[in-house]
Amino acid sequence: MASPDSSVAPLPAARPDGGARVNDFSIQVATANGSGSQSSNTVLLRAIFQMGVPVSGKNLFPSNIAGLPTWYTIRASRDGWIARKKEVDLLVAMNPETARDDVLGLSAGAAVVYDAPLALAELRPDLVYYPVAFDALVEPLTKEPKLRRLLRNMAYVGVLARLLDLDLGEVEHAIEKQFPGKPRARDLNVAAARAGFDHAATLEKRDPLVVRRMDRTAGKILVDGNAAAAMGALFAGVTVVAWYPITPSSSLVETLIGHLRRYRIGPDGKATFAVVQAEDELAAVGMAIGAGWAGARAMTATAGPGVSLMSEFAGLAYYAEIPAVIFDVQRVGPSTGLPTRTAQGDVLSTAFLSHGDTRHVLLFPGSVEECFTMGVDAFDLAERLQTPVFVMTDLDLGMNVWMSDPFPYPARPLDRGKVLGKDDLDRLGGFARYADVDGDGIGWRTLPGTPHPKAAYFTRGTGHDEQAAYSEDPRTFERNLARLEKKLDGARDLLPAPVREGSGEAKLGLLAYGSSDPALREARDQLRREAGLDSDYLRVRAYPFSREVREFVEAHERVYVVEQNRDGQLAALLKLDLPAALVPRLRPVPHLDGLPLDARTVSDAIRAEEAR
Amino acid sequence: MATPATPAAPRTNRLGLSVVEYKGAKSTLCAGCGHNAISERILEAMYEMGVPPERVAKLSGIGCSSKSPAYFMSRSHAFNALHGRMPSVATGAVLANRELLALGVSGDGDTASIGIGQFVHLMRRNLPILYVVENNGVYGLTKGQFSATADLGAKLKTGVQNDLPAIDLCTLAIQLGATFVGRSFSGDKRQLSAMLRAALAHRGTAMLDVVSPCVTFNDHEGSTKSYAYMKEHDVPLHELQFVPAFEDLAVEYDPGTTVDVTMHDGSHLRLRKLEEGYDPRDRGRAMSRLVEAQAGGDVLTGVLFVDAKAPSLVDLLNLVDAPLATLPAEAVRPPREVLDALMDALR
Ligand SMILES: Cc1ncc(C[n+]2csc(CCOP(=O)(O)OP(=O)(O)O)c2C)c(N)n1
Ligand code: SF4
Ligand SMILES: [Mg+2]
């Protein structure tokens, strides 16, 4: 079969509105890991953002430093949808290894900018092709082959700017932001973008995609969830940070260290914080717990494999009632299990981490702003409840760049929880560490070093009485467990309440959490517009569940629980919590391919179920 | 028999506390267990050095040895952590409050087997802590299995022989960067007392490996951690004299026969040499001598290595003087302008 030459390829048949598709498309850039495309893609994303158009970016990268294929998708959405979109409207094919499959996977009518030697136009007749000889474009810019490789990627930004009618000035501004204090890198990259821009003037525009200025991003910020959580910890006044590097959590701590060095070292060079890179996650969480015991605001950050290692310590801290904050930036599977792909796979195991009747407080931020606010709140909650608090983000939220309103300065003062000092002990004449004097299940604690002869108590795991003395007495043990249950039950009212959307009148309920939120909101819209299905939506923000969760299930005939895992982990927790009569209302909607959730997956699944 | 007219006022230390203020709960360990003697020596050293009990944080792992902090100094906070994980908890606690005097109590199983990873990294960080390993060569609490410090050829009561080489915690600690390393024997009251007092004056990691016979599971013929074995094979390197900073240093010393180490707080550790040419400030020599001794079945005791000047982890982190734990909100939560600036940078 003869393949048509690109220059005579038929124009795409489908142009629904007969004209331009303004601010509503997605771009996929296919490159090799480590080729510097991350900077180019950020510049492209930022330039669209600066044009006032809502935008989101998803980096789909391999567990590798250099060489393996990487894809970056950018979605511009005039309606403000920022979930991933599965359909690609414009492909930038730079990676010979994947180019063929990338092209074959497109829908008819999509546009392809590609590196000319790849000769992709022969593959299919139903696409719009823009071959560009990138090597020739960047050749005049530098003699260094390594630099040329990087500049090729900035050149495609210039090509896209011309094709999409992006303001070149915004591209240059974005480049400036990308290379602060590096004039040479900035200039070279600007030159590369310009070379692409100029060259693209010779291409005949044959696709409908354009960017037009809007005003929907004014005042907004672009940030990833890890940076947001790091700021949360900073403004929570964290003092001890112990960690062990693991993707996708490392950048959280690395960003935090930068902030601490900048903002928490006095003029005398003395630090109001301690950071230790521990030997493993057991030690990292042990340090956080030791520090929390001694009164510091202490944290660690990790991913699933680290959480597994922290299991025994989590149980100890639960029973000894010690505050600590653990950020779990979830990813797929143990060992070499897609470590750079996203998932909500640690929910069930973390809720009950360790052995015995342990149960932990989990927070589920659903946006970068909540990575910040919950990053602050987690420290207050850990000290108020005297227990470890897990902030369950994920790779999509943590490592991808999201558009957001600027973060609010914390409204409340730090809550340091129930701590007795020397004066209190003078007044009280003593205390019982694990006595429920206030009826909320939470005892008062003292910090080591408190200069009072009655301040000390002996901290140990499960077997202790109200005075913290060793005890194996069955009644004492039962009483202690009952008090802990009361404490966790009371936590429901202290934790972030769920967020409701919808009239409350629909028969259909959608329930989700974390990074699924943007896809859920868009899916609701699709269900209403495309299938006439009205739904209410509840976004759960914490475990133990708020009492509102049960009310929501009670008020809906069917509740679709959408999660980024196979087994319905949150649904399993709901089943334990809800009265048996309500359990059949829950319908799990799993998503488990390691890619960020998109709206279409959700609405398709629900429509199919509803049609049965 | 003469009866004094008025009872003598109870002896007190320089804080005005009597030794009773340093007592703990009644021991539940076996009578004659070496660990009980070590508890006694720790209690005495704390009392004699005039350490305020409220300043001490007792940290331990899991084992008979790790239980023992309950049996001394009830006026100190304590944390009986997880098996092998005391070092991390201690690290966190000391960073949270640099004014704490951290006392870590561990066993040979707790330290040399399950906890070797955390032990290794604690040593190399030079965390300010007095870390005591109560070494009986077995797991007492789980009824007598070999630990990783059991000597090659040592026999259990059941006749089972250990075919693997022992981990020598002192050699390891010296190599890793610990700055005060000593070995003693729970039965040597004088040496252990002086060593504990000196270690309390040290700023940095002081690791003491104290042979502490398990009378129930490892005190028989064929054991190398028994009272009898130690009586025969204990080779002290020197006679220890410790003069705390608050006492007068009466006599001059003779550099020919004595090594004098000035500690961080101005106190003096005096070692009257029993072995020619041993200088505990020489890391390489200390390690080679330990290896020699181990090969010959000798148990070298004394202060094996000391470096009173190395910076501790707290120094390296350049922490503010006040404990991090109780810094006021103004010191730890940056003002609104900082958040505004951070937000601006992201626009
Ligand atoms: C994770 C874990 N594994 C195993 C045990 C069981 N265990 C308790 S104490 C102990 C050995 C203690 O030996 P050692 O530290 O030498 O203390 P000793 O009793 O001899 O003083 C073991 C294996 C435990 N508590 N935790
Ligand atoms: S079993 Fe051994 S180590 Fe444990 S208390 Fe008894 S003598 Fe001591
Ligand atoms: Mg032992």
Report the separation in Å between the CA atom of B118 and the middle of ligand 1, taken as the mean of its atom positions: 15
Same domain, A11 and A117: yes
In the prediction, which pLDDT does A552 show? 98
User: Does residue A334 carry a pLDDT above 90?
Assistant: no
In the prediction, which pLDDT does A338 show? 77
Same domain, A28 and A92: yes
Q: What single-letter DSSP state applies at residue B68?
A: G
pLDDT in tens, A157-210: 999 999 999 999 999 999 999 999 999 999 999 999 999 999 999 999 999 999
pLDDT mean across residues, chain A: 94
| Fold assignment, B23-330 | Rossmann fold (3.40.50)
In the prediction, which pLDDT does B9 show? 74
Same domain, A81 and A191: yes
Same domain, A18 and A156: yes
User: Does residue B229 carry a pLDDT above 60?
Assistant: yes
Same domain, A396 and A433: no
Same domain, A156 and A240: no
Taking the C-alpha atoms of residue A404 and residue A362, their distance in angstroms, rounded to an integer, is 23
Domain of residue A310, residue span: 223-404
Minimum-distance CB partner of B80 among A270, A409, A459: A459
Burial class (CB in 10 A: 0-12, 13-18, 19+), A12: middle
Residue A414 within any structural domain of the chain: no
Local confidence band at A362 (pLDDT 50, 70, 90 cut-offs): very high
Nearest residue of chain B to residue A421 (CA atoms):
B326
**Domain boundary pick from A198, A218, A238:** A218
Taking the C-alpha atoms of residue B257 and residue B238, their distance in angstroms, rounded to an integer, is 10
Please tell me the least confidently modeled range out of A335-339, B32-36, B218-222. A335-339
- Locate the domains of chain B by residue range: 23-330
In the prediction, which pLDDT does A15 show? 43
Number of domains in chain A: 4
Report the separation in Å between the CA atom of B108 and the middle of ligand 1, taken as the mean of its atom positions: 9
**Domain boundary pick from A404, A438, A460:** A404
pLDDT in tens, A535-590: 999 999 999 999 999 999 999 999 999 999 999 999 999 999 999 999 999 999 99
Does residue B24 sit at the A interface (CB-CB below 8 Å)?
Answer: no
pLDDT in tens, A240-255: 999 999 999 999 999 9
The three-point CA angle A237-A238-A240 to 5° equals 150
Local confidence band at A379 (pLDDT 50, 70, 90 cut-offs): very high
Same domain, A486 and A380: no
pLDDT in tens, B295-339: 999 999 999 999 999 999 999 999 999 999 999 999 999 999 999
Q: Average pLDDT in the A68-95 region?
A: 95
Taking the C-alpha atoms of residue A585 and residue A364, their distance in angstroms, rounded to an integer, is 23
Q: Average pLDDT in the B285-304 region?
A: 94
Please tell me the least confidently modeled range out of A432-446, A551-565, B3-17, B27-41. B3-17
Q: Which residues of B touch A273 (CB under 8 A)?
A: 324, 332
In the prediction, which pLDDT does A2 show? 33
Same domain, A289 and A205: no
Same domain, A33 and A151: yes
User: Does residue A314 carry a pLDDT above 90?
Assistant: yes
Q: Average pLDDT in the A312-317 region?
A: 98
Local confidence band at A398 (pLDDT 50, 70, 90 cut-offs): very high
Q: Average pLDDT in the A98-113 region?
A: 97
Task: Please list, residue by residue across A114-124, b when 16 or more beta carbons sit within 10 angstroms of its beta carbon and e when fewer do.
Answer: bbbebebbebb
Residue nearest to atom 16 of ligand 1 (CA): B109
Strand order in the sheet with B129-135: A458-459, B77-80, B56-60, B101-107, B129-135, B205-211, B180-185, B299-306, B234-236
Does residue A221 sit at the B interface (CB-CB below 8 Å)?
Answer: yes
User: Does residue A378 carry a pLDDT above 70?
Assistant: yes
User: Does residue A137 carry a pLDDT above 70?
Assistant: yes
In the prediction, which pLDDT does A1 show? 31
HSE-CB for A544 with a 13 A CA cutoff: 21
Tell me the Cα Rg of chain A.
27
Residue A366 within any structural domain of the chain: yes
Same domain, A509 and A568: yes
In the prediction, which pLDDT does A12 show? 39
Is there a contact between A363 and A420 (Cβ–Cβ < 8 Å)?
no
pLDDT mean across residues, chain B: 95
Same domain, A283 and A204: no
pLDDT in tens, B264-276: 899 999 999 888 8
User: Does residue A16 carry a pLDDT above 60?
Assistant: no
Residue to probe by mutation, ligand 1, list B27, B59, B110, B156, most atoms within 8 Å of CB: B110
**Domain boundary pick from A448, A474, A491:** A491
Local confidence band at A32 (pLDDT 50, 70, 90 cut-offs): confident
Residues in a beta bridge with B235 = B300
Task: Write the CATH number for A82.
Answer: 3.40.920.10
In the prediction, which pLDDT does A457 show? 98
Distance from CA of A165 to the nearest CA of B (A): 22
Same domain, A481 and A528: no
Q: Is B64 in the pocket of ligand 2 (CB under 6 A)?
A: yes
DSSP characters over A54-71: -EEEEEE--SSSSSSEEE
* Run of H or E including B48: helix B34-49
